[in-house]
């Protein structure tokens, strides 16, 4: 009798588990393509598509003093120092973009250059950005300006930065000032780069400034970053209703490391909600992480999508020291450690599509010093974009990260993302084969 009961219990449990797995597979599939049978060079892009590359001020300009340089000192990290000396070499770097045939360039403005002390405004530095914009336009390259890409003045960080809601008016004042000076020529603006990366890396994992580790603080910063974006959006739109203003959202996908595990799956859903879902909710509903932020509702004219990888989630995720990235057996690990998973790019596009605004790919690329993976990485990801456009997604641009090797934050100069190799001793730039490939694709499309 008890054998019969045991058998029924086991088969009941197995049936329940199978049903659960089938349900999850249907609801949250994790597709993997057989890339050997996909012709990734069969691409088609519409007229008017923007081909671009992206950089950020702290990563390329050189010789800055801001929250990041403080963090580099404090944590004894590799120093950003002269970076790519782009502040002095921007004309040559723009020529490299012309040589690639680019018609769009995403870059960021360094607040700490413009306002090194509260209220002290550096007009000369703003003039340099203004000259850059004139030069880009003359070259037929659309400037896409990011107002905050991870770095801000030391004095603002000392006051708590985004951790303190009272600081947001200063952020707004800086953005307005830049907008007033440049919006006669710049149409497309990104308020904040990768809000969740900024919040989680700085306040949960402690790898970005201010190096804190507090979930409570992370949630507060996430909300304030959303508030910051929203007030800037509202104010700039009032000044110029025709401006196109968005956010660059890093959509990392979270998949259960073990799809049979009753723990990995809910954990992956929770992390994906915190990383992506909560943010999208903020924009769609004006409510984020249990707070009402009504001004955030519909505060996008386009959504910037930064896509790199998926993260396989299990209970043993180390949150101290080096981040570790599990991968599926057949996946190739990139130099950063995380897997190349181009299939996820399509999922990321589908994730932002319900926002019902045009999509700009504001970043996509790979760390690969020897350029052995980048050509294939580029082809696969461009194929995904091309397919998505053909399937009706409104994607307007692709910006490769990055134009050239640069300072990769906590990883210093060890991670090379460039279409151009940079010799940091001599500042010599050399195009990589993937750069030539990108140039040829642009020419053909």
Sole residue written with tokens 């750069």:
435
Roughly what angle, to the nearest 10 degrees, separates helices 215-239 and 278-285?
Answer: 40
Q: Which two tokens stand for residue 83?
A: 């970076």
Q: Please, are residues 339 and 328 in contact by the beta-carbon 8 Å criterion?
A: yes
**Residue of minimal Cβ distance to ligand IFM:** 56
Backbone φ, ψ for residue 98 (5° rounding): -60, -40
Tell how strand 428-431 and strand 420-423 pair up.
Answer: antiparallel
Nearest approach in angstroms of CB 170 to ligand IFM is 23
Distance of CA 370 to the CA centre of its chain: 23
Q: Which two tokens stand for residue 360?
A: 């700009």
**Bridge partners of 72?**
none
| Cβ nearer to ligand IFM, comparing 60 with 267 | 60
Nearest approach in angstroms of CB 220 to ligand IFM is 22
Cα–Cα distance measured from residue 218 to residue 225, given in angstroms and rounded to the nearest whole number: 10
Backbone φ, ψ for residue 372 (5° rounding): -90, -25
**Residues found near ligand IFM in the complex (CB under 6 A):** 56, 59, 194, 306, 363, 401, 408, 417
Nearest approach in angstroms of CB 291 to ligand IFM is 26
| Cβ nearer to ligand IFM, comparing 59 with 67 | 59
| Cβ nearer to ligand IFM, comparing 172 with 323 | 323
| Cβ nearer to ligand IFM, comparing 255 with 363 | 363
| 440-415-304 Cα angle (round to 5) | 60
| Cβ nearer to ligand IFM, comparing 94 with 208 | 208
| Cβ nearer to ligand IFM, comparing 199 with 256 | 199
Q: What is the CA radius of gyration of the chain?
A: 22
Nearest approach in angstroms of CB 56 to ligand IFM is 5
């Amino acid at each position: 009798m008890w054998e019969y009961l045991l058998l029924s219990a086991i088969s009941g449990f197995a049936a329940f588990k199978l049903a659960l797995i089938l349900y999850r597979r249907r609801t949250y599939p994790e597709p993997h393509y057989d890339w050997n049978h996909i012709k990734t060079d069969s691409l088609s892009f519409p007229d008017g598509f923007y081909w671009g590359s992206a950089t950020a001020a702290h990563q390329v300009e050189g010789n800055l003093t801001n929250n990041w340089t403080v963090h580099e000192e404090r944590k004894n990290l590799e120093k950003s120092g002269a970076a790519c000396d782009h502040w002095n070499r921007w004309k040559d770097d723009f020529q490299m973009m012309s040589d690639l045939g680019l018609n769009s360039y995403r870059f960021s403005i360094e607040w700490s250059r413009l306002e090194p002390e509260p209220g002290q405004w550096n007009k000369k530095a703003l003039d340099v950005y203004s000259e850059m914009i004139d030069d880009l336009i003359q070259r037929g390259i659309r400037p896409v300006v990011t107002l905050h890409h991870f770095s801000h003045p030391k004095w603002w960080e000392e006051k708590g930065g985004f951790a303190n809601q009272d600081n947001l008016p200063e952020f707004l004042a800086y953005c307005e000032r830049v907008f007033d000076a440049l919006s006669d020529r710049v149409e497309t603006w990104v308020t904040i780069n990768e809000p969740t990366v900024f919040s989680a890396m700085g306040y949960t994992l402690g790898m970005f400034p201010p190096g804190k580790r507090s979930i409570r603080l992370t949630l507060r910063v996430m909300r304030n970053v959303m508030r910051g974006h929203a007030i800037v959006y509202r104010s700039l739109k009032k000044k110029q209703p025709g401006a196109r203003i968005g956010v660059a959202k890093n959509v990392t996908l979270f998949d259960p490391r073990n799809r049979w595990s009753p723990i990995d799956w809910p954990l992956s859903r929770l992390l994906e909600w915190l990383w992506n879902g909560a943010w999208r909710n903020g924009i769609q509903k004006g409510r984020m992480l249990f707070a009402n932020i009504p001004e955030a509702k519909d505060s996008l004219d386009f959504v910037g999508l930064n896509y790199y990888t998926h993260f396989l989630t299990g209970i043993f995720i180390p949150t101290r020291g080096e981040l570790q990235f599990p991968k599926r057996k057949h996946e190739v690990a990139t130099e950063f450690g995380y897997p190349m998973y181009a299939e996820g790019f399509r999922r990321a596009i589908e994730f932002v599509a319900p926002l019902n605004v045009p999509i700009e790919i504001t970043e996509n690329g790979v760390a690969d010093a020897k350029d052995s993976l980048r050509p294939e990485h580029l082809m696969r990801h461009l194929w995904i974009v091309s397919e998505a456009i053909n399937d009706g997604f409104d994607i307007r641009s692709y910006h490769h990260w990055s134009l050239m090797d640069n300072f990769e934050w906590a990883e210093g100069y060890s991670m090379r993302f460039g279409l151009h190799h940079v010799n940091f001793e001599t500042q010599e730039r050399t195009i990589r084969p993937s750069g030539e490939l990108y140039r040829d694709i642009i020419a053909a499309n």
